[in-house]
Structure 1
């Protein structure tokens, strides 16, 4: 059982920064920030969960089955992540590429303390065992002196590419050969950028990344010595009552500081036949995934190929909804739709096999999802893209970017799109 006390907050921006800084004392931290991207699909402005009472950690083998048991047992708020390599639990697949991050493949915990920020109010939702600490914690956050973000975020950092441009072209051309042969229609091909023997200051890195990106699904996740610092613009899947909502992204264009040129870039993206074709293919895949859980005839496309503007890029987003039975288990819904279509391809299993063959790193949490499940069986998960992953013990920093390869793909343009997507992460890590 939990106790909830709500406080009116005069300066929400200040309070959010203070709450995240205060959270750093705990081994488990999940911070989800909408960055004021409010819509009819929003549930909060920010959500913070810290200090696990119980936790469930596993590799891919029987992951969803065992996680379902844990979720049914706790019947409480759960925060955590599912990594891309849980594909091996969903299908007869494997992951053998290089992994220097060593994140568990699934990690969820039951937090003792949750702070939910909506409008000008902060709700402290604490387990009864710690509810006597609510007032003390509210006072501590409210009176916290914020650390300066001007200091360096890392030591001298040397970012390396896992594959170089020529090899990228060779691999994309091989993927195009699979497409021309009819094995797949589309696949998301990704590459890793990394730094070894490197220490960063995770909170400072996140604050800088969040400041320049202001993404609607920003995430700071800390699990002991492992961190996810995410400026994700994409929602994987949300459940509210009996309604499912997925918002896949396919289609990217750079921004311009010149207003007229920026509008031209946005308009060009909205009319780009290749980008629209990529998006529509993934929408069809998402519709098929949702139909596994949905009641018959309930899957609908609410928005198709709508262009949204973010700080760094324009993105083409579609919105797909479905209705499910109230008896349907939430973990089963996740399993039936995972991994998300925007990060795999079509047909899905063939695309994942080819991705595993051609990519040079194990995706792990990249292109997985971070989110939460409520006691009422609602949930919301993002897609981990535009994200920096850090293993503090291994001193290893990684970020990956990718894009959809279709029959019309031009390797040089796909490579340029990758660099556009990588710009914010590189800028933050190299900033002094």
Structure 2
């Protein structure tokens, strides 16, 4: 049993949310970057992870595992690459993610079409490194992007396994509702295509306060201090961008 428990963090923010979005883009922190003005509040995010993508009946889901290392030095990057692809615990957890993702996709895919197209790839962004595998398949002829969304939501990386029991534990122990954290941001097109990112590394700005939520996977032998530090590192890119914007405003 593994559960992703998260914490909410906040800081005062009086600058323009659009300026924060531009600052995040300068950091090049993730492949998905977005800004939404919803009048009462703003959403600014830089998610590194696909929930699911459907394009011309071909679907894709990424399984992503995080290492909370900043990795600015080349030697450190090479060292962590080696650790991630050789550590038995990391490999076991990632193999479980692959199996879970294949099971999700397999429910709506044409028989025999499910394929792991990339395995144990390493991707590095501004403040974290990820081990990534891709699962691809052909969706059944009678199903749509909505069926793909239902099969894959919520993403495993924000709840873990077993999914329903993990969500029950999260609901019992987390002191605040998650809101958008662990949700999805993306689009559904008129052509039937879809591209959804998991809403992580995502900030809510409301009433001059910036909120961000992040967490880590807990098992029986997890070290609380390390899990707490991991959640801080996951929010670091947005906090750094917010500080840059605030400093310009105050200066």
* TM-score normalised to structure 2 length: 0.90
- The residue number in structure 1 matching 2:212 is 399
- The residue number in structure 1 matching 2:44 is 229
C-alpha separation between the residues in 2 aligned to 1:294 and 1:302?
Answer: 15
- The residue number in structure 1 matching 2:117 is 302
C-alpha separation between the residues in 2 aligned to 1:200 and 1:225?
Answer: 15
Higher relative contact order (CA 8 A, sep 6+): 2
**Structure 1 residues without counterparts, runs of 5 or longer:** 1-184
Is 1:415 matched up with 2:228? yes
- Asked if the contact 2:6–2:216 (Cα under 8 Å) also holds between the matched residues in 1, the reply is yes
C-alpha separation between the residues in 1 aligned to 2:156 and 2:128?
Answer: 21
Give the 3 Å change call, closer, same or farther, for CA 258–337 of structure 1 in structure 2: closer
Alignment of 1:150-165 (within 5 A): none
Shift of 1:236: 0.8
Alignment of 1:278-293 (within 5 A): 278-293=93-108
Give the 3 Å change call, closer, same or farther, for CA 408–283 of structure 1 in structure 2: farther
Is 1:372 matched up with 2:187? yes
Is 1:187 matched up with 2:9? no
- 1:316-337 deviation line (CA, Å, top 9, x unaligned): 1111112212321221221222
C-alpha separation between the residues in 1 aligned to 2:84 and 2:129?
Answer: 8
C-alpha separation between the residues in 1 aligned to 2:86 and 2:174?
Answer: 30
**Structure 2 residues without counterparts, runs of 5 or longer:** none
- The residue number in structure 2 matching 1:53 is none
- Asked if the contact 2:126–2:237 (Cα under 8 Å) also holds between the matched residues in 1, the reply is no
- The residue number in structure 2 matching 1:272 is 87
- Asked if the contact 2:98–2:133 (Cα under 8 Å) also holds between the matched residues in 1, the reply is yes
- The residue number in structure 1 matching 2:238 is 425
Q: Which has the larger radius of gyration?
A: 1
4+ long deviations beyond 6 Å: none
- The residue number in structure 1 matching 2:173 is 358
C-alpha separation between the residues in 2 aligned to 1:410 and 1:271?
Answer: 21
- Asked if the contact 1:251–1:269 (Cα under 8 Å) also holds between the matched residues in 2, the reply is no
C-alpha separation between the residues in 2 aligned to 1:255 and 1:271?
Answer: 19
C-alpha separation between the residues in 1 aligned to 2:71 and 2:208?
Answer: 35
C-alpha separation between the residues in 2 aligned to 1:346 and 1:278?
Answer: 11
C-alpha separation between the residues in 2 aligned to 1:309 and 1:364?
Answer: 27
Q: Secondary structure at the match of 1:372?
A: strand
Is 1:203 matched up with 2:18? yes
Instruction: Indicate the larger mover: 377-386 or 272-281.
Output: 272-281
C-alpha separation between the residues in 2 aligned to 1:349 and 1:313?
Answer: 28
- Asked if the contact 2:68–2:234 (Cα under 8 Å) also holds between the matched residues in 1, the reply is no
- 1:94-130 deviation line (CA, Å, top 9, x unaligned): xxxxxxxxxxxxxxxxxxxxxxxxxxxxxxxxxxxxx
User: Over the residues paired in the alignment, what is the CA RMSD in angstroms?
Assistant: 1.8
Q: Secondary structure at the match of 1:296?
A: coil
Give the 3 Å change call, closer, same or farther, for CA 312–339 of structure 1 in structure 2: same
- Asked if the contact 1:186–1:278 (Cα under 8 Å) also holds between the matched residues in 2, the reply is no
Q: Secondary structure at the match of 1:248?
A: strand
* TM-score normalised to structure 1 length: 0.54
- 1:341-380 deviation line (CA, Å, top 9, x unaligned): 1111111100111111111221111111111111210110
- Asked if the contact 2:47–2:197 (Cα under 8 Å) also holds between the matched residues in 1, the reply is yes
Give the 3 Å change call, closer, same or farther, for CA 278–408 of structure 1 in structure 2: farther
Alignment of 1:164-175 (within 5 A): none
C-alpha separation between the residues in 2 aligned to 1:205 and 1:369?
Answer: 20
Q: Secondary structure at the match of 2:46?
A: strand
Count of paired positions: 245
Q: Secondary structure at the match of 2:54?
A: strand
